[in-house]
Amino acid sequence: MRSESTFPFFESDLSGALSKAWSEGWMDEFSDDHFLIKVIEGRLEKYQGFYQFAANDVPIYMTNAENFQINFCINFSQKIACLIDFFGEESIKNFFTDQLSAGKENYDETQFFRALSEISVLCFWRNRSKAGKYEPKTNGKKNPEARFYCNNGLVADIEVKTPGFRDFDGIQDIVLPVVLLDNKGRDEFMQFCSSHNLNGIMPRVGKLKDFLNSAAEKFETVDHCNHMNFLV
């Protein structure tokens, strides 16, 4: 059990939230292949989005495999401490074990990054709010991620959706259409790519429609002035 061992980054964990999660068993059922476990134990090598991160990183940041892992732990722990303070320990503990665990023994890294995206969005709104409720019951059994009572008096219900797009590993050149195509245009585009030995990829926007429909089932009807719904 991880909770029976010393947290590897104890001295660097200034907020103490990640140390708390480790020592109290919140991560005991996490897979050894989990992104967060690898980062904490200093053995992360490749991960979803690695190539994009490497391409976007500029030399002045001097990011390498070692300091990336340390910085991630420090920043992540601070965010978790922020959410515990705002939503309460029980809600965030359940978030750890149910969502952040990303399938536990059936670990799926895309699930982890969905949960990580949710943390980033919730922290953004938490910094602009005086109170909030995690997973409020707004529409029967379905509910958005959180409700925030903002500093300016606005009530905001937030739903976070993250598409699980795969990385294009090993593909150097990808061709995308930059204008809206009908079915005939799509067929012609893919035929052209095939005949010219190009890696033709359609914009993966279909999930946007699914996300809008899903969010509509979770949000309640609001006046859009004093109370607003936000799909991120």
Query: Cβ neighbours of residue 39 under 8 Å, at least 6 residues apart?
Result: 69, 72, 73
Say what the pLDDT of residue 63 is. 74
Asked if the model's pLDDT at residue 92 lies above 80, the reply is: yes
- Give domain limits for the chain: 1-127
Contact present, 217 and 138 (Cβ < 8 Å)? no
Q: Which of 99, 150, 96 is nearest to 124 (CA)?
A: 150
User: What number is the average pLDDT over the span 201-212?
Assistant: 82
Asked if the model's pLDDT at residue 57 lies above 70, the reply is: no
* pLDDT tens-place string over residues 111-128: 998 999 999 999 999 999
Provide the whole-model pTM: 0.79
Q: What is the mean pLDDT of the chain?
A: 89
Say what the pLDDT of residue 59 is. 67
DSSP states of 77-105 as a string? HHHHHHHHHHH-HHHHHHHIIIIITTTGG
User: What number is the average pLDDT over the span 50-67?
Assistant: 71
List the end-to-end C-alpha distance of the chain, in Å, as a whole number: 36
Query: Cβ neighbours of residue 76 under 8 Å, at least 6 residues apart?
Result: 18, 36, 119
Tell which wins on pLDDT, 97 or 141: 97
- Diameter over CA atoms, the chain: 61
Q: How confident is the model at residue 139 (pLDDT cuts 50, 70, 90)?
A: confident
Asked if the model's pLDDT at residue 165 lies above 80, the reply is: no
Say what the pLDDT of residue 151 is. 97
Say what the pLDDT of residue 174 is. 82
